[in-house]
Structure 1
Amino acid sequence: MAGGWSRDGAVQEQIDASVEDAIEQARSRLPRGESLSHCEECGEAIPQARREAIPGVRLCVACQTERDKRQGASAGYNRRGSKDSQLR
């Protein structure tokens, strides 16, 4: 059921588009190619189990954890605009 200016199914389409965008963004950040045997930031050896679990890995666990902290959570926004943004 849609209300106001939206047509039926518009809200679900926005949700689906937001989920698809988040999935695509996450996939684009996955490593690709040959895994390194040593971390490209600190030079420590990357364990064989990590290299097998994540193809294309380039960082050790400690450096990857730090990089993830620096990047922080994505600022999730609705690219199609929310009802609130249209009212402003």
Structure 2
Amino acid sequence: MPQPSVGRIVHYVSYGTPGGEYTSQCRAAIITAVEPSEGEGTLANMNGEERVSLAVLNPTGMFFNQGCRHSEGAQTGGTWHWPERV
């Protein structure tokens, strides 16, 4: 699995709206900061859950989010994952 680093492009999963007017969607995002895993003192050994700050590119503007959790499996709102290969 690649290491997250500043400037990498990832996918951010939006939350959607409670009433269902807007569904949860994958959006392009750029990593703006990488946090070390809990219990780790450096970014060199990220064995835990990677949390990153993102600049999310939405069709209607940009959104900034800090401390986003990584999730390759169940892609729930507020998480990020690597783009799928096509």
TM over 0.5: no
Q: Which has the higher helix share?
A: 1
Q: Which has the higher strand share?
A: 2
Q: TM-score range by the shorter chain?
A: under 0.3
Output the TM-score relative to the length of structure 1. Answer: 0.21
Larger Cα Rg: Structure 1 or Structure 2?
A: 1
Q: Which fold has the larger relative contact order, with Cα–Cα distance below 8 Å and residues 6 or more apart in sequence?
A: 2
Output the TM-score relative to the length of structure 2. Answer: 0.21
